[in-house]
Structure 1
Amino acid sequence: MTARIDKPRTVNRQVLADHVYQEVLASLMDGRLMAGAGISIDGLARELDVSPTPVREALARLEATGMVRRVALKGYSVAPLFSAEDLAQLMDARLVIEPVNAFRACERRTPALNQALAQAITDLRTAPRGVSFAEFREYWEADERFHRLIAESSGNQFILSAYNSLGGQVQRFRFFSGLGVTDAECAIEEHTAIFDAFTAGDPKQAQRAMVAHISGVKQRAVKDVADHA
């Protein structure tokens, strides 16, 4: 069951859409909307006390992440949990794209970018890592922000498009529901190594550090699947 949204008498349409998106995302991450199950737009709208429109918009956004799937004439369903092979393939795709992002972004680094990366790492260190999505959402958001800052600073629109098309980074965090974030210390250390290369102005080291990070995430992600089997 998704959480009912307490709406003020008047609410900005975009604010409402974002709230609905966040509520549906939380339901997916916590398993309240079960993997493989069909999704009733009207049912979600009633639960959240909103019209069907923001629910449709939320589901369209979530389709791009791979969290939900849409079939013509059948509507939306919750995507299955990734298998170990799915996660390995996702990480292999990230290994193609993100080290290049790190190299190029480090070449183009600015004090503002370095400051933003440092803040993302600080937020990773201080974010809760509890068992529900509400408890580890800030950690996920800081992790996503760190990687997106680098991707958006690479200066290559085609690489950025490829990065955006992966979408599935959020999928790995589905395995943290009920466990909490399982690899925070390793991930923070790896992010810090990437950041150190940026502060040193060493694009090749930034690239190597990103390879090490994504490779580490790959190994840990496969273990997460095994732990949930």
Structure 2
Amino acid sequence: MRPSDIASVKPPASKRQNLTERIYQELKERIFDFQLLPGDRFSENEMAESMQASRTPVREALTRLQREGFVEVSFRSGWQVRPFDFEQYEQLYDVRIVLEMAAVKRLCEMEPGPDLEQLKATWLVPEDQRLDHGPTVCAMDERFHEQLVEATGNGEMARIHHDVTERLRIVRRIDFTKRPRIEATYREHGEILRTIIKRRADEAQLLLKTHIEESKAEVRKITLHMIHEARLNPHNSLLANDAGN
């Protein structure tokens, strides 16, 4: 192979896939952390320069985020972080409530009873053993609700619930930026678990519904405030920083 041919050789597919995955994860984090705000517009060239990568893996990462509903593309205006659709998020929360209430009812009626030992070991702990790192507790909270559904043994219900969880993650993690919400999560999860263990289906369903609805209301309030604050501070926008430099 001539030296001039080496530059034209494409990188191995596995290497490009790894690069695409890295860019995908970083872009998702920027969206989740409000470095890229809902409604922000950008071009593939701008993002490729920001990521210090070529346009191909950037486009592949953006296409994946588009399928997941985080960004959208226009032929004329380039890419845009998808604006928050609170009506859609509230509909997804309603789906969560229906699925999880059905799961809780089933858990209270199962014979033999469900295996909740892992959940008990995580949530029924003394206060001095509780974690207070928001992102960690957020991930734990997500698994709590998924494990309740998984414990029913209904794989299709768990699959649908997981899909809803993925689509809500961008707003749900905001619920764990305030310490009182972290403390409330431990308390409310504990109450739900104890009631399931006692097989009080109606009470467990009510506790669960209240827990999710309170989180939904808090998330909307905090999200609107955080977007407002981020727009007042242009340093929160990575592309604005790059443009300023």
TM-score interval (norm. to shorter): 0.5 to 0.7
Give per-residue Cα distances to partners, 1:84-113, cap 9 Å, x unaligned.
Answer: x444333222222221123334537544x4
Aligned position for 1:184: 182
Superposed displacement of residue 58, structure 1: 4.4
State the distance in 2 between where 1:14 and 1:120 align: 38
Quick check: which has more Rg, 1 or 2? 2
Superposed displacement of residue 28, structure 1: 0.5
Answer whether contact 1:104 1:155 (CA < 8 A) is retained: no
Aligned length: 208
SS in 2 for 1:195: helix
Superposed displacement of residue 33, structure 1: 1.3
SS in 2 for 1:69: strand
- The amino acid of 1:115's aligned partner reads Q
Aligned position for 2:83: 80
Aligned position for 2:133: 128
Query: Which stretches in structure 2 are left out of the alignment for 5+ residues?
Result: 1-13, 229-245
Q: How does 1:206-217 map to 2 (within 5 A)?
A: 206-217=204-215
State the distance in 2 between where 1:171 and 1:24 align: 12
Residue in structure 1 matching 2:122, options 112, 119, 123: 119
Residue in structure 2 matching 1:68, options 71, 83, 102: 71
State the distance in 2 between where 1:175 and 1:35 align: 14
Superposed displacement of residue 126, structure 1: 0.7
Superposed displacement of residue 163, structure 1: 2.0
- The amino acid of 2:91's aligned partner reads Q
Superposed displacement of residue 78, structure 1: 0.9
Give per-residue Cα distances to partners, 1:11-58, cap 9 Å, x unaligned.
Answer: 988776654443222200222112112354454344334555654554
Answer whether contact 2:123 2:189 (CA < 8 A) is retained: no
Answer whether contact 1:81 1:171 (CA < 8 A) is retained: no
| Larger helix percent | 2
Aligned position for 2:96: 94
Aligned position for 1:194: 192
State the distance in 2 between where 1:30 and 1:151 align: 28
Q: What is the TM-score with the length of structure 2 in the denominator?
A: 0.63
Aligned position for 1:7: none
Answer whether contact 1:190 1:212 (CA < 8 A) is retained: no
RMSD over equivalenced CA pairs, Å: 3.8
Residue in structure 2 matching 1:44, options 44, 47, 59: 47
SS in 1 for 2:37: coil
User: In terms of mean alpha carbon deviation, does 185-194 or 44-53 score higher?
Assistant: 44-53
State the distance in 2 between where 1:127 and 1:53 align: 40
Query: Which stretches in structure 1 are left out of the alignment for 5+ residues?
Result: 1-10, 130-136
Shift of the 118–29 alpha-carbon distance from structure 1 to 2, 3 Å rule, reads same
Aligned position for 1:27: 30
Q: What is the TM-score with the length of structure 1 in the denominator?
A: 0.67
Aligned position for 2:154: 156
SS in 2 for 1:168: helix
User: In terms of mean alpha carbon deviation, does 86-95 or 189-198 score higher?
Assistant: 86-95
Matched, 1:224 2:222: yes
Answer whether contact 2:68 2:167 (CA < 8 A) is retained: yes
SS in 1 for 2:130: helix
